[in-house]
Structure 1
Amino acid sequence: MKKFIALLAVLLVGAGICFAADPAEGYWISYDEKTNEATAGWRIWVENGVLKGEILS
């Protein structure tokens, strides 16, 4: 029974990790695929429950 409970706990924790997503908020930079140069930057944040963003460069 202890092994079953331990296995169940591992599966539940693993399932939570699998469905966890990276947050969208923060600073983001896009790069040109050919030259690998930075092409633009954004700042994304949540304000009053709404996801907002601005282009920095």
Structure 2
Amino acid sequence: MARYGKSAQKSVKRAMHQKKRGQLKSGKSGKRVTSRKQAVAIGLSEARRKGAKVPRPSK
């Protein structure tokens, strides 16, 4: 069974494209995201907020 839903995949893809273009910003500070891992985390958290099928973050 798939761990992540299709909508989660789309939001991560969108975040990665934004990172590549230099348009992805993080949190309150609004600094540009340079890390690939951070871009994926932002995409997954956005998907989680939309109610997509995403496992809860590990502690």
TM-score, normalised via structure 1 length: 0.31
Based on CA coordinates, which of the two structures has the bigger radius of gyration?
Answer: 1
| Higher RCO, Cα 8 Å, sep 6+ | 2
Q: By percentage of residues, which structure has more strand?
A: 1
> Higher helix share goes to which structure?
2
